[in-house]
Structure 1
Amino acid sequence: MTTIGFHASHEQIPPERLLRDVRHAEQAGFRAAMCSDHLEPWSPRQGHSGFALSWLGAALATTDLPFGFVHAPGRRYHPVVTAQATATLARMFPGRVWTALGSGQKLNERPVSPEWPPKEQRQRYLEASFDVVRRLHAGEEVTCAEPVHADRARVWDPPEVAPSLLVAALTPTTVRRFAPRADGFITVNQPLEDLRRMLDSWHEGGGTGRAALQVHLSWAPSAEQARAIAHEQWRTNVFDPVTMAELSSPHDYQRKAVQEEVGDTQIARAVNVSADLGRHVERLHEYAELGFDEIYLHHVGQEQEAFIDAFGAEVLPQLAGN
């Protein structure tokens, strides 16, 4: 049965309100939650970016939901820090935490480092990060040189139940490459054929763990309101994976959206926009039928209450049998 979860968007909502939102989502029937770990939002219009690791401690302590987060070892986080942070969460909340490791975006690394390596270098670093984090979670002392440097690193409180390490992937090439290393993968909504290729590539690469999908959607009582929300908040997030990784600031994303004259057609490729709850149910059924184990719903508006109530009452019950 597919688990339907709530995506907590730190880039759009201040952390104290987001904590209330995720508690509300649990009460409404969402059975899991996730977030992304950003230093910067995607655009000035989104305007927030709370520290996910601090927030996760509070969210796990005040709900019964399992939580995951997308996280990039790199300049902001050495893999040793990633291992220590995730081990601490896993010790306090055993069996309830997973993390998806990714190669990151310049947006989040530029404030702390002048260097932004090319994609292949970041991928090799990510492969090494999986190895370092797993060994530290297992209680080993780790020394290594390249591409990750560690000198007799140790996590002194390793987890009794190691948290799952997924890979965050946007292309079949990445998901196939990391299938032997990861306990699962997470991606974002794309055309059904593209998602099918992602799942096929995962299995062809030997992947056997969970397949998770984050679905960007915009819902409101009227079609015009739903379109306006998507345009105002998410028109900066419609570009190809290379562009999304290489732009260096929220203002760069905003300028790019203006230059490209992003409109409803482009937004509809990245966001499921509809005032019709039945249409949202149909789309989510399609994703579940492809074989995704977990689907996390991200309403791209900054006000979550009406979305949570509407989907809790009308959408989640229709997906309960998936």
Structure 2
Amino acid sequence: MTVIGFHASHEQLPPAELLRAVQRAEEAGFGAAMCSDHLAPWSVRQGESGHAWSWLGAALQATRLPIGVVTAPGQRYHPAVAAQAIATLESMFPGRFWAALGSGEALNEHVTADPFPPKPERDERLAQAVAAIRRLLAGEEVSTDGLVRMDRARIWSLPAVPPPLHAAAVSHETAREAASWADGLITVDQPRDVLRALLEAYRAAGGRGPVAVQVHLSWAPHEDEARAIAHEQWRTGLLPGPLVWELATPEDFDRRTADATVDEVARTIPVSADLGRHAHHLAELAELGFDRIFVHHVGTEQDRFIDAFGARVLPALGGPAATGDGR
């Protein structure tokens, strides 16, 4: 049965408030959680960006949920540092942590003052980072001299079993390439034909493990409010994939979407006051074959959303029984 999880958006809520939200989500019946890993928000209006790894330790301690993170080793995080963080969380909370690895976005990576590489180089850097992280999690001493450089790196505090390393992919090309190394796949909600092609590409290339999708949506008791929330907080969806990865600051994103209308934004994500419509949308994704669906209400008021989805949407999708292994 498909696991319905809660997405914790560090870009939109202060860390302590986000911690309370994930606890409330567990109480409401969500079966898993995940969080973003940003140094900067997508928009100045969002105004937050807590440190994901600090928060993850608190969230895993404060709940019993399996919780993961989408992160980008290679530039802002040296892969040895990422491997150490992964190992420590899995050691403390065995069987509950996962990490999805991606090639990154300039929004978070430019701060090193190193050039943000073109996508082919980022993909190769990610492949080298994954290989090094797996070796480190196996207890090896690692030295490398490629796009990823290490000198006798070793992780001393290791979990009994390394946690899953999933791939974060938006295109079927990336999904196919990641199939060789990933323990699972996570993507974002897109048109059904795009998602179907992505899943088929991953499986056809030998991709194993669970497949997950992150769904950005906007809900409020009244339609106009749901639309206003999306317009205020989530204009990023208007920008095409390559541009989203290349813009460097929240101000850049705000300038690019300054003229966006409410109607334009509402066409990029599910926006509705009708909980039945949201349940139907999520059910379609489950039928498509996703093992896990992580729901992100793009508003900063999370309590109403959590309570309403817990009472009306989760039961329509199988309820708290649909919690299984969210890793």
For 1:193 and 1:151, the matched residues in 2 are separated by: 45
For 2:273 and 2:251, the matched residues in 1 are separated by: 30
Partner of 1:294: 292
What whole-Å deviation, never above 9, does each CA across 1:141-185 have from its counterpart, x for those lacking one? 111110211111100012212111011111000000011110111
Partner of 1:237: 237
Pick closer, same or farther for the CA change 1:152–1:114 going to 2, 3 Å: closer
After superposition, residues 82-101 of structure 1 pair within 5 angstroms as 82-101=82-101
For 2:264 and 2:186, the matched residues in 1 are separated by: 22
Whether the aligned pair in 2 keeps the contact of 1:190 and 1:270 (CA below 8 Å) is: no
Q: CA RMSD in A?
A: 1.1
Partner of 1:7: 7
The letter for the 1-side match of 2:281 is R
For 1:66 and 1:238, the matched residues in 2 are separated by: 31
After superposition, residues 167-178 of structure 1 pair within 5 angstroms as 167-178=167-178
For 2:126 and 2:211, the matched residues in 1 are separated by: 19
Partner of 1:137: 137
The runs of 5 or more residues in structure 1 that have no matched partner are none
- 3-state SS of paired residue (2:234): helix
For 2:284 and 2:52, the matched residues in 1 are separated by: 30
The letter for the 1-side match of 2:221 is P
The letter for the 2-side match of 1:10 is H
Partner of 1:102: 102
Whether the aligned pair in 2 keeps the contact of 1:75 and 1:113 (CA below 8 Å) is: no
For 1:268 and 1:200, the matched residues in 2 are separated by: 28
49-58 or 187-196, which deviates more: 187-196
After superposition, residues 143-154 of structure 1 pair within 5 angstroms as 143-154=143-154
Whether the aligned pair in 2 keeps the contact of 1:218 and 1:301 (CA below 8 Å) is: yes
Partner of 2:72: 72
Partner of 2:17: 17
- 3-state SS of paired residue (2:136): helix
After superposition, residues 104-123 of structure 1 pair within 5 angstroms as 104-123=104-123
Greater RCO (Cα-Cα under 8 Å, separation 6 or more):
2
Partner of 2:36: 36
Partner of 1:307: 305
- 3-state SS of paired residue (1:212): strand
Identity of counterpart residues, as a percentage? 57
* 1:270, distance to aligned residue in structure 2 (A): 3.1
Whether the aligned pair in 1 keeps the contact of 2:2 and 2:293 (CA below 8 Å) is: yes
For 1:74 and 1:152, the matched residues in 2 are separated by: 17
For 1:263 and 1:185, the matched residues in 2 are separated by: 33
The letter for the 2-side match of 1:312 is G
Whether the aligned pair in 2 keeps the contact of 1:189 and 1:270 (CA below 8 Å) is: no
Whether the aligned pair in 1 keeps the contact of 2:76 and 2:111 (CA below 8 Å) is: no
- 3-state SS of paired residue (1:298): strand
For 1:239 and 1:205, the matched residues in 2 are separated by: 29
What whole-Å deviation, never above 9, does each CA across 1:226-254 have from its counterpart, x for those lacking one? 00000000013331110100001000000
For 2:134 and 2:263, the matched residues in 1 are separated by: 42
- 3-state SS of paired residue (1:132): helix
**When the two structures are superposed, what TM-score results if normalisation uses the length of structure 2?**
0.96
Partner of 2:277: 279
The runs of 5 or more residues in structure 2 that have no matched partner are 323-327
